[in-house]
Amino acid sequence: MIRPRFVFWILAVVATFIGNQLIEHKFIMILMLFLLALPIFSVLYSFWIRRKLSVSIVPDQEFIERGDQACWYIKFTNLSKLQTMAIRILIKANTLHIDQEQIQATLLIAQNDSSNIRLTAKPAFSGPFTADSFSIAINDIFGFFRIKSLTATEVNFPNVYVLPLEEMSEDYHEYLSNHLAAGEFPSGKSQSLLDEIDRLRTMESGDSLKHIHWKLSARMQEWMVKEFDKEDDRTVTVLLNLPEVFFKTYNDESNRLLYLRNYMLDHTYTAIRIFLSREATVRLKTYQPELVVEEAIHMNEADLLRKQLSYIPYRSVIPFAEQLHDERLGNELNILYIITNELDHSLVADLRTLRTRIGGMHLVFAVDQQSTVDAAQEHLERLANLNINVELAYSNEVNNYE
């Protein structure tokens, strides 16, 4: 970038040239050559000196609650023994996250010295958060130009991960807990394990009618129920089909999807805590970009899954259909908890195939506008016929879980 001082240099060159035309003198010619050599020497020297700048960035906290401020400490170190550096810092952050479109600062760093700045921003959405662009320019030795020194690709600007929040609705806790207690899901073990009965016993209060052993009950003249292996009876695998968001093409639609994504992550984290409170084993599967599986058994392990939710990138890495086609999916669980924001013929077909291999399925259809529900009505009816629990979760209103 051209500095104001460069304009004065041009004026000096022009004045010297005019003076040389009026008064032909060797001194004026030497002065003109000297003025012409200044910017060339300055640029060449600046390209060498910019390698003497070191930058390190450390986040104050790697994980923060949504609504809290993200903070980074940026340390600039001048390794040169000859020159004080005047640097200009330009940081751009997506307007989705902070009020300011860009942050500018000018810093003077003495020889063999360092200086620190503290950068804060308030993220609005759960997930990985960082600056969109980061550049540093150094003034050349005579102040004619600003020479770009470092960019975001050359500096490791670490992410801060924004955690989802728990929904505090007591109605939803009661709704999901009642489904678990009533045995509506799981309906037993996975289909491949239905014949593996741990033991038979006399029916007790609270036992599900689905577990009655009819032939044995008729022979014994009392109600007998099948009891399955407890280790496999309370395993929940969680899968998410989050909306894909492109920040570079930010508009009202992407903003809507981001708020819907917030709601889906919060809803998932709330369900995980409910499952854990009901003594279920929760297995969370995410893809970023490779398969990551984290398992929790006790309530105090819920934060591990919460952190995993915050790692999920804004752009889809592996299509949801490929996740459902994972051959290991039907062999390791008896409850499948899915949250999605879209329903189509392909997804319903995949769920139909998968339903035959597992014991129970709970599908959360997250919507933020009624037209989405109207368009998916045919798919919702088909899912109900497949014995799949479907929960309509409205992000923009209070949900009724009667």
d(CA 307, CA 300): 13
Helices 252-277 and 302-311 meet at what angle, rounded to 10?
160
Q: Are 311 and 286 in contact (CB under 8 A)?
A: yes
Report which residue type is found at 42: S
Question: What's residue 270's pLDDT?
Answer: 94
Q: Which amino acid is at 149?
A: S
Query: Strand 85-92 to strand 70-78: parallel, antiparallel, or no bridges (unpaired)?
Result: unpaired
Contact 160, 68 (CB under 8 A): no
Give all strands (DSSP E) within 232-375, no chain letters.
Answer: 235-241, 281-287, 291-296, 335-340, 360-367
Which pLDDT score is estimated for 319? 87
Reference 141, options 89, 83, 88; nearest CA is 83
| pLDDT confidence of residue 271 | 93
SS3 42: helix
pLDDT at 68: 92
For residue 338, what pLDDT is reported? Answer: 92
The burial class, CB within 10 Å (0-12 / 13-18 / 19+), for 12 is middle
Are the C-beta atoms of residues 49 and 37 closer than 8 Å to each other? no
d(CA 162, CA 154): 24
Tokens of 14: 């022009």
CB-based contact 60:71 (threshold 8 Å): yes
**Kind and range of the H or E run holding 320:** helix 320-324
Across the beta sheet with 160-163, the strand order is 63-65, 160-163, 127-129
* Pick among 2.60.40.10, 3.40.640.10, 3.40.50.1820, 2.102.10.10: CATH of 1-163: 2.60.40.10
CA distance 342 to 380: 11
Name the amino acid, one letter, at 162.
Answer: V
What does the alpha-carbon distance between residue 83 and residue 113 come to, in Å, rounded to a whole number? 11
User: CATH 3.40.50: which residues of the chain?
Assistant: 170-187+230-394
Give the class (CATH, top level) of 170-187+230-394: alpha beta
Q: For the stretch 309-319, what's the b/e string if a residue is b when 16 or more beta carbons lie within 10 angstroms of its beta carbon?
A: bbebbbebeee
Q: State residue 233's pLDDT score.
A: 53
Looking at the chain, the domain(s) classified CATH 2.60.40.10 span 1-163
- Parts of the chain with a pLDDT under 50: 1, 95-100, 186-195, 230-232
